[in-house]
Chains A and B, each alone.
Chain A
Amino acid sequence: MRDVSIIGIGQTEVGEHWGKSLRHLAGDAVLAAMRDAGVERADALYVGNMLSGELNGQEHLGALIADFVGLRGIEAVKVEAACGSGAAAVRMGYLAVASGLLDVVIVVGVEKMTDQKGPVTTASLAMAADAEYEVVNGVSFVSLNALLMQRYMHEYGVRHEDFAGFPINAHKNAATNPYAMFRKPISLETFKRARMVAAPINLMDSSPVADGAAAVVLAPSDVARKFQPLSVRIIGSANATDALAVHDRRDPLFLSAAALSAQKAYRQAGIGPNDVDFFELHDAFSITAALSLEAAGFAERGRGVYLAKDGEITLGGRIPICTFGGLKARGHPVGATGVYQVVEAVLQLRHQAGPNQVKNARIGMTQNIGGSGATVITHILAAEG
């Protein structure tokens, strides 16, 4: 097995792209990543996407996008794992290069969510859950997370406003990210006054529906420097699963797939949570951020929420998270999110994060969650040299 490095990154602004179709968004990100890497060809293209069939009436994205960016003829395929599709595609690219079968692989995550009205998008997102035993009962994706948040507050004696630090931190970091959807800070008052979506989850606990695409170019580490002086090495990559439905999990308040995926990645990288300089986690909802911090080993059970309350997740804190705004404020174009996280981690490790720079960042971790916790993909990245 070979070491794999990221030699190019590209991203589009996250937001409502009324003038751009899915193929244009994906194309923008892929071409930017190829320019950044200085490559004109690749052996394969893996596309992370969840909902193109439902929302855009378009499947078969591998061939569509490969042709659109001038790579007609190469191997190309779509990878789907709900909101974890992006990082699942990165891992497929990693496996392909690590195996020695392919050399240069492009991975793009893309989602075009604003083509449909709200209720259609909400119903489509619910397809990440169990259609026969969750969704048919009128359960939306938000409400599954609300069930977790309610139980968490009950079991650990936590108040709703204790979670405020998550969206406040996310919005603060997004304010200086030119690619973020919401580039303005929010206050505790804004959080407390926000409209309820599924109690206790309100609008400020929730990441937004958005369009966007992000891409990376992967190559064997031994030749990475030939392309890119600032290449970043993937030192851990893992995908783990849990039961699809919340009610089928052994302990709903413990994201066991997140724990398993993080442990596998730590083991491969030969590090532990204390060695991680920043963590791009999956804050689809503020409860998800708390549960992720616990599962990945940054807090005891029931204590993840206090990292936000005590300011330990800020850029200068013990474990900075969502350094460019996270899902909450950069935005959450679902199948693209996992690739955005990796692109942002690369910016941190290249020390190109500008005002969002985590000082002396050497090792970063990204974790992308599919559904309410059923598929979790973790990557650990390290600056080269």
Chain B
Amino acid sequence: MAIPQNWRLQNQRYRLTGEVCNTCGAKLFPPRDVCPECAKPAYEPFQFAGKGEVYSFTVLSEALAGYEAYEPYPVALVKLQEGPLVTAQLTDVDPQDVHIGMPVEMVTRKLTEEGEDGLIVYGYKFRPVLKPAVNG
């Protein structure tokens, strides 16, 4: 993707900003201006919490060009608490430990770079929800 394409998605990539439909209340990510549930206009920004669980996952043994450094890497469909599914890489986790239903949360990470001297593209990945430390 070209630099302007990445730049204009900053609110989605760094903050998971989507939309809410004022007619039926559906929460939408990515933003899309017409609600897919009721076909009414949906322009109201909505801030997602970035929490959810793994709906499905895979581990790429053959990376896409530009992502070879991470191979093999897990990719998931994450079901956000507010409803939508999001496609994202999982991070900070051994691919062997990933399972359907695993609670995850959004973090900001490097996705790729555009060529050797190019732009670093940051965006959302999801990691297992951190557990509180247990005393003693």
Contact = CB atoms under 8 A, between A and B. Distances in A.
Interface of A: 119-120, 122-123, 126, 131-140, 142-144, 146-148, 150-151, 154, 195-201, 243, 245-248, 250, 252
A133 B61 contact: no
A137 B75 contact: yes
A146 B1 CA distance: 23
A151 B30 contact: no
B60 A138 contact: yes
A320 B24 CA distance: 44
Contact of A243 (B36, B77, B87): B36
A367 B100 CA distance: 31
B62 A136 contact: no
Which of B56, B73, B76, B125 has the most chain A CB within a 10 Å cutoff? B56
Interface string B81-93: 0001111110000
B36 A248 contact: yes
A311 B124 CA distance: 44
Contact of B59 (A122, A133, A198, A246): A198
Which of A126, A151, A200, A245 has the most chain B CB within a 10 Å cutoff? A151
Interface of B: 1, 5-6, 9, 12, 30, 36, 55-68, 70, 73, 75-77, 84-89, 100, 111-112, 121, 123, 125
B5 A140 contact: no
B100 A151 contact: yes
B58 A147 contact: yes
Given A144-B87, A146-B58, 8 more contacts: A122-B65, A123-B65, A133-B12, A140-B62, A143-B60, A197-B61, A247-B86, A248-B85
Of all A-B residue pairs in the complex, the 8 with the closest CB atoms, nearest first, are: A146-B58, A151-B56, A247-B85, A138-B67, A119-B65, A123-B65, A147-B56, A198-B58
Nearest to A250: B36
A148 B70 CA distance: 22
25 contacts: A122-B62, A122-B64, A132-B1, A133-B87, A135-B64, A136-B121, A138-B63, A138-B66, A138-B70, A138-B75, A140-B62, A140-B64, A142-B62, A143-B60, A146-B58, A147-B56, A147-B76, A147-B87, A154-B56, A197-B62, A199-B58, A199-B59, A200-B58, A246-B85, A247-B85
